[in-house]
Structure 1
Amino acid sequence: MGKRKVLVTATNYSAICKKGKRILEENGFEIVENTHGRPFTFDELKGLVGDISAVVAGVDTWDEAVFKLAPELKVISRFGVGVDNIDILKAKEFGIKVTNCKGINSNAVSEHAMALMLSSVRMIPRLSQTMKEGTWERAVYHEFNQLTVGLLGFGDIARKVAAKLQPFGAKLIAYDVFPNEEAAKDLNVTMVSLEDVLKKSDIISIHVPALPSTHHMINKDTIELMKDSVYLINTARGSIVDESALYEALKTRRIAGAALDVYEREPVDMNHPLFELDNFIGTPHTSAETYENYENCGIETAQAIVDVLIKEKTPENLL
């Protein structure tokens, strides 16, 4: 019998996840890596999953159609936090354990959210582009100590954003279904209603999970509640924002700007009309792409696979 195989669909694995890869190899696993630099399609997975025992999963889709083709699969270890691409209930029916890297990427994502806020308010991409085109544009903007930043969701990432905003002097408000009043007090954040975040914020930063209840949480109606000077930031999940409604709001200057790291479909169509707008900033789902996060997630995902398949114990962050 040959070595058990681990399919790694997360990208840059050999280059950045050397410690995690070594853990798997030292425990006798053969590693099959993603060489595409993007998520696998179903057709690509079909030819790979027949004899795999475990997956270090990126954002490819893992559902019943794939599980039926993978009789040896026992564990999917998500290289990240969000698991909306994995049908967890069906995985359980097929006897597949699913884990994630809860909390590991929080600092990386919070830094990216901050970068998108600053880039939006200060119009960094636009001014860089117009300078390259030969225009010396005299843009004017507000300082952060005059702005209200609203956090949609107040979990670990949002709290790290709030901590990073402290020296800027912005007023901080947040909405969460399960408000953490103690953490809010420590971070000078006022917990308010969803409507208040939408109406009162100069910047809205999204940090809610992808759930049926949050699907298109940002839509034509909720955008109508926002200031026309607001900037919308999304480093959470693409399904939370109705991109058609956002496009219309940006095109008509109903809102000042938006910056997205996540999209309703990924990889995003590079002909997406949002990319035509000078008040839109887009990054290719890279908020967690740091060397530190890769190393830590590499170790965490490898250990989960070893725990399930070698040590036969319950892994951390079992979902």
Structure 2
Amino acid sequence: MTKPNKILVTLPFPKEMITSFDACVKRMEGLGYEVVLDSRARALKEDELLEYAPELVADICSTDAWTRKALEAAPNLKVISRMGVGYDSIDVPAATEKGVGVTITVAANAPDVAEYAFTMMLALSRKLKEADKLVRGGEWKKVFSHSLYNKTLGIIGLGNIGKRVAKLTCGFDMKIIAYDQYKDEAYARENGIMYCSLEDLVKESDIISIHAPLMEETKGLISEAQFDMMKPTTIVINCARGGIVDEEALYQALKDGKIMDAGLDVFEDEPVKMDNPLLTLDNVIVSPHTAGMTREGRSHLVEIAFQNAIDVIEGKAPRGLVNPEIFK
């Protein structure tokens, strides 16, 4: 009987964007594996994974829906290697029960996501969207905006991405405060960052940038109560996960002038539905979960994801292993 050797790859973007992709595939083939690239160029749903599951040794993916049902249909699966850091699309307890490793690409896209979040801060504070619209509409009018200099930036989630965002503020003389359940006191002290409660952060911040993972504790973390405490000039940036922010409460806060602007790269339901009321507001910049999408960053991320898969298959625990107990 032939030993299962298939490795599924699901890229949410054209493989031509990844300069290192062919080399990664050749390396896997050299180790004796058959690499299957799904042609849909998006994450796979549960029923779509079931088509591949019985023969798979590994899935190198974005946000494929590895539910308990899908995992039970994959008796030979050794690893789900995420190209990214969120893993809320995977039933990790079920994977652990089956001895399937779940890996993430720790910090691989942190510079790109941080850069994107900071771009949103600048675009919103300096009113670039409004200025562009005026000129295209034939109006040559001055647009008054807000400077980032000397403002207070509140970072929710001072992990790899949050720390990168903090680093980008040098030169803007910003005060940085942070809220995180898992504090890196040494880093904060060395970089002049003050940890505070969530309540103090939302009250004091001029800009709030969210970089926390979506977990039970962070779902709906920013809701009506938090928006009610914010300044009317506050800008909220979310390049993390949509479920962290209550979208209905955000819509009302923006509509009623409780806060000034929002920059959203993520939504609770993706792709975002066209009847989402947030899309009707002028004081919102939206994008399709694309903060980490640079050619340089994606190539690096894919390389790490392939290496993580190899490590777990060979019985090694890579840095990004979410469930190290599979080796105990």
User: Which piece of structure 1 moves more, 126-135 or 221-230?
Assistant: 126-135
Q: Do residues 271 (structure 1) and 275 (structure 2) align?
A: yes
Shift of 1:95: 2.2
| Matching residue of 2:315 | 312
| Matching residue of 2:9 | 8
Query: Retained in 1: the 8 A contact 2:263–2:285?
Result: yes
Shift of 1:5: 1.3
Q: If the length of structure 2 is used for normalisation, what is the TM-score?
A: 0.91
| Matching residue of 2:161 | 157
Shift of 1:13: 6.1
Q: If the length of structure 1 is used for normalisation, what is the TM-score?
A: 0.93
In the aligned structure 1, how far is the partner of 2:290 from the partner of 2:109? 11
In the aligned structure 2, how far is the partner of 1:26 from the partner of 1:268? 40
Shift of 1:284: 0.8
Q: Tell me the matched-pair count.
A: 318
- SS of residue paired to 1:159: helix
- SS of residue paired to 1:136: coil
In the aligned structure 2, how far is the partner of 1:90 from the partner of 1:53? 16
Given candidates 214, 226, 229, the residue that maps to 2:230 is: 226
- SS of residue paired to 1:56: strand
- SS of residue paired to 2:217: helix
One-letter amino acid of the counterpart of residue 54, structure 1: A
In the aligned structure 2, how far is the partner of 1:46 from the partner of 1:3? 15
| Matching residue of 2:184 | 180
Query: Retained in 2: the 8 A contact 1:57–1:77?
Result: yes
Question: In the TM superposition, what whole-angstrom CA distance separates every residue of 1:250-275 from its partner, at most 9, and x where no partner exists?
Answer: 12222101011111111221332211
Query: Retained in 1: the 8 A contact 2:57–2:79?
Result: yes
For structure 2, which runs of at least 5 residues remain unmatched after alignment? Answer: 323-328
| Matching residue of 1:208 | 212
Given candidates 95, 101, 109, the residue that maps to 2:113 is: 109
Query: Retained in 2: the 8 A contact 1:52–1:70?
Result: yes
User: Which piece of structure 1 moves more, 209-218 or 145-154?
Assistant: 145-154
Shift of 1:163: 0.9
In the aligned structure 2, how far is the partner of 1:73 from the partner of 1:13? 25
One-letter amino acid of the counterpart of residue 7, structure 2: V
The within-5 A match list for 1:1-319 is 1=2, 4-12=5-13, 14-15=15-16, 16=18, 17-18=20-21, 19-309=23-313, 311-319=314-322
CA RMSD of aligned residues (A): 1.8
One-letter amino acid of the counterpart of residue 269, structure 2: R
User: Which piece of structure 1 moves more, 29-38 or 65-74?
Assistant: 29-38
In the aligned structure 2, how far is the partner of 1:315 from the partner of 1:64? 23
One-letter amino acid of the counterpart of residue 308, structure 1: V
One-letter amino acid of the counterpart of residue 159, structure 1: K
Question: In the TM superposition, what whole-angstrom CA distance separates every residue of 1:254-313 from its partner, at most 9, and x where no partner exists?
Answer: 21010111111112213322111110011111111122222222121112222233x333
Query: Retained in 2: the 8 A contact 1:14–1:21?
Result: no
In the aligned structure 2, how far is the partner of 1:306 from the partner of 1:212? 31
Identity of aligned pairs, percent?
37
One-letter amino acid of the counterpart of residue 93, structure 1: E
Query: Retained in 2: the 8 A contact 1:3–1:28?
Result: no
